[in-house]
């Protein structure tokens, strides 16, 4: 026993295997799990990716990144801030070199940046700066600025949020005052709270920004508008006169989002030419007249729909990564249950683990498919806008706002739940989950605080209810047109098996959403002051919005299963199981809504939960194969616990010895501080107690 407790010799600590390491090295410990799959994994990969072409491009870029040592990321959490940021700049420059030298398409470049898996200034440049010019710039502005941006001859960011205002865009304080004498706008930060605060890429890299400011012409306020502003010299990168700019400091996590230079920006009467105001919708003439173009203001919402649909797509990627890690590790990890000296029980076989893990697995697929649908919705909106058809825009705006809120909240919570599902080892940075969580959670705030977005959805729902008598609801609110029937309908489910009827599920979710929306609208009508009522009932309005958004996710998952492009043995059947898991778990989690609104009886809610337990048994043999279908490389997962081969314990042991604290047997500072304490030679100060 004494031998077992002895510390291994140093030559065995680093770079050598012994004991369990020799047995486990080179073995795929998840082979048996993969043999139980009841579907064609390659076909499921196509279903997840959306098409075989997308899968091939994605896999090719993932392997390109994984096999290039420049993109190594496992040492990232141990780097100091300056070294970390410099490393990010190096990777971004190298990635751009690859894009140019290999002649990568826009689609390939997008996947390359995704798999590098490191927040960087390029995210805002390609994701916000360029789309803003494309959506809000005139043809002349696009011809001037887009070639420069697309060739990375200028680098841009999106400067909207301020120290004192985020979600309330109309409350922004930065001013842009037109000077007709010089045909210029004068940008100014009149207060401390008017400082731009948070824009990614602003702190140290961006040469230009889309700055949102209060337009002042002739002493009158004419709304908040966007302006293209040069921040730094293109020669030596020093700030332009009148501009104070820097980084806002460390953020949550180790490496995480600290690779991004989120910035602070102040203007001291900075002048820009008049033609640098984004003027596709509104224009200011040389004479100082405000002109509205033929393009309606609603066009701006098109850009918002685009950005939010990408956020929903990113939610499915982040949640699926966490679920992949937790699922594989749950299959590797064994605890308790040993009989007669045999192996212990796999953690994934415990019903409590399944009840927490499998709904998250189902959610990842649900969010993937609703994100796919949102991409179609954006293209539809884009085509309609080009034809001056704005009829579906309010519904599309509300839909994307609600789904952004729903999916990012569920994903942030889901990543943390996956960390807890991995037990103590999930707390290690090498599990990949703490870093994934730290990088992801800002999504609950940027591009609209999630609660604020749900309140916007609620306003739209209340308006839809108020117009039922004379206006037909469209798109995702079409079910409201059947509100009279949904308020009266009774669920017909009598057995647990009947919950496997898509029609019964959709009807239950529609009835719940309709009753909550109509109910809250009726309560609001009792207030003399509508805004007072809205403030008083805000929490209930949020719940009604969540019900509406969950209906969208459930219905789009079901619609996906009805498409003819799902091919491969067992693929449709396996997805059906996940669809029912998502729907019935959501029903169980929110059964208070279903019961309180009279949509279900307590017996029917209980039957839904019975069926849910049965469904978990159907997910179990497919669990590892379902996460394999995400087709993520070990590099992208960035997790020892989520390794494809399941070789967890030796790799955890190796990783421990790579920590700088283990560079020596005796820690720096030990002799100075701890040894005197052990030797009872501490010098007591003369301070009185």
Please identify every residue annotated as catalytic: 447
Beta bridge partners of 2: none
Find all residues with CB under 8 Å of 462, minimum gap 6, and list them.
Answer: 517, 520, 521, 524, 541
Nearest CA to 242 out of 271, 273, 276 is that of 271
Nearest CA to 205 out of 242, 255, 248, 154 is that of 154
Nearest CA to 442 out of 191, 207, 126, 123 is that of 123
Q: Look at phi and psi of residue 198 and say left if phi exceeds 0, alpha if psi is from -120 to 50, else beta.
A: left
DSSP state of 448: S
Residue 600 three-state SS: coil
Contact criterion met (CB below 8 Å) for 646 and 28: yes
Q: Is 245 exposed, middle or buried (0-12, 13-18, 19+ CB in 10 A)?
A: buried
DSSP state of 663: S
- Quickly list H helices, 102-183: 106-116, 121-124, 130-136, 139-150
* Tokens read off for 310: 């990408």
What is the full DSSP assignment across 464-511? HHHTTTTS---GGGGGGGGHHHHTT------SGGGGG-HHHHHHHHHH
Q: Is 609 exposed, middle or buried (0-12, 13-18, 19+ CB in 10 A)?
A: middle
Nearest CA to 159 out of 204, 200, 122 is that of 200
* Tokens read off for 139: 């043809």
């Amino acid at each position: 026993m004494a031998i077992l407790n002895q510390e291994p010799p140093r030559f065995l600590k680093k770079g050598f295997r012994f004991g369990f390491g020799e047995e486990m090295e080179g073995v795929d410990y998840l082979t048996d799990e993969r043999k139980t799959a009841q579907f064609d994994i390659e076909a499921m990969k196509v279903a997840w990716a959306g098409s075989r072409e997308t899968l091939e491009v994605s896999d090719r870029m993932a392997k390109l990144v994984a096999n290039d040592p420049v993109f190594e990321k496992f040492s990232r959490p141990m780097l100091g801030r300056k070294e970390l940021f410099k490393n990010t700049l190096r990777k971004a420059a190298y990635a751009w070199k690859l894009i140019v030298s290999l002649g990568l398409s826009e689609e390939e470049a997008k996947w390359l940046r995704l798999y590098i898996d490191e927040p960087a200034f390029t995210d805002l440049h390609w994701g916000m700066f360029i789309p803003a010019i494309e959506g809000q710039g005139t043809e002349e502005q696009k011809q001037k600025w887009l070639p420069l941006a697309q060739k990375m001859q200028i680098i841009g960011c999106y400067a909207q949020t301020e120290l004192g205002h985020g979600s309330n865009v109309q409350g922004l304080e930065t001013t842009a005052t037109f000077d007709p004498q010089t045909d210029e706008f004068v940008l100014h930060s009149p207060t401390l709270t008017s400082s731009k605060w948070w824009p990614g890429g602003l702190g140290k890299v961006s040469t230009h920004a889309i700055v949102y400011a209060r337009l002042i012409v002739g002493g009158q306020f004419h709304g908040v508008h966007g302006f293209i502003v040069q921040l730094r010299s293109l020669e030596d990168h020093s700030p332009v006169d009148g501009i104070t700019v820097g980084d806002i400091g460390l953020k949550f996590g180790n490496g995480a989002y600290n690779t991004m230079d989120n910035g602070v920006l102040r203007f001291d009467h900075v002048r820009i030419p008049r033609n640098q105001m984004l003027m596709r919708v509104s224009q200011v003439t040389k004479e100082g007249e405000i002109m509205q173009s033929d393009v309606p203001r609603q066009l701006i919402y098109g850009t918002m729909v685009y950005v939010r649909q990408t956020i929903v797509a990113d939610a499915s990627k982040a949640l699926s990564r966490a679920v992949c890690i937790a699922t594989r590790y749950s299959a590797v990890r064994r605890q308790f249950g040993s009989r007669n000296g045999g192996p212990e029980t796999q953690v994934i076989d415990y019903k409590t683990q399944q009840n927490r893990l499998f709904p998250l697995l189902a959610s990842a697929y649900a969010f993937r498919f609703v994100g796919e649908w949102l991409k179609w919705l954006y293209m539809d909106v884009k085509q309609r806008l080009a034809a001056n058809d704005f009829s579906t825009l309010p519904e599309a705006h509300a839909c994307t706002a609600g789904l952004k809120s729903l999916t990012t909240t569920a994903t942030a919570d889901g990543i943390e739940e996956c960390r807890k599902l991995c037990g103590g080892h999930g707390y290690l940075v090498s599990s990949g989950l703490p870093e994934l969580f730290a990088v992801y959670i800002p999504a609950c705030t940027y591009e609209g605080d999630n609660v604020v977005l749900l309140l916007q959805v609620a306003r739209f729902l209340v308006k839809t209810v108020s117009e039922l008598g004379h206006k037909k609801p469209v798109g995702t609110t079409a079910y409201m047109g059947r509100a009279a029937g949904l308020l009266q309908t009774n669920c017909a489910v009598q057995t647990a098996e009947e919950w496997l009827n898509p029609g019964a599920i959709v009807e239950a979710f529609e009835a719940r959403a309709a009753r909550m929306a109509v109910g809250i609208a009726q309560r609001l009508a009792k207030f003399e002051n509508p805004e007072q009522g809205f403030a008083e009932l805000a929490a209930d309005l949020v719940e009604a919005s969540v019900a509406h958004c969950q209906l969208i996710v459930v219905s789009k998952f079901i619609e996906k299963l009805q498409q003819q492009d799902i091919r491969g043995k067992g693929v449709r059947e396996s997805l059906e199981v996940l669809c029912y898991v998502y729907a019935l778990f959501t029903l169980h989690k929110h059964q208070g809504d279903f019961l309180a609104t009279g949509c279900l009886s307590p017996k029917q809610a209980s039957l839904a939960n019975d069926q849910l337990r049965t469904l978990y048994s159907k997910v179990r043999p497919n669990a590892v194969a379902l996460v394999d279908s995400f087709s993520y490389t070990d590099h992208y997962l960035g997790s020892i616990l989520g390794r494809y081969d399941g070789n967890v314990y030796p790799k955890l042991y190796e990783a421990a010895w790579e920590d700088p604290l283990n560079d020596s047997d005796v820690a720096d500072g030990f002799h100075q501080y701890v040894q005197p304490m052990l030797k009872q030679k501490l010098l007591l100060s003369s301070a009185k107690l």
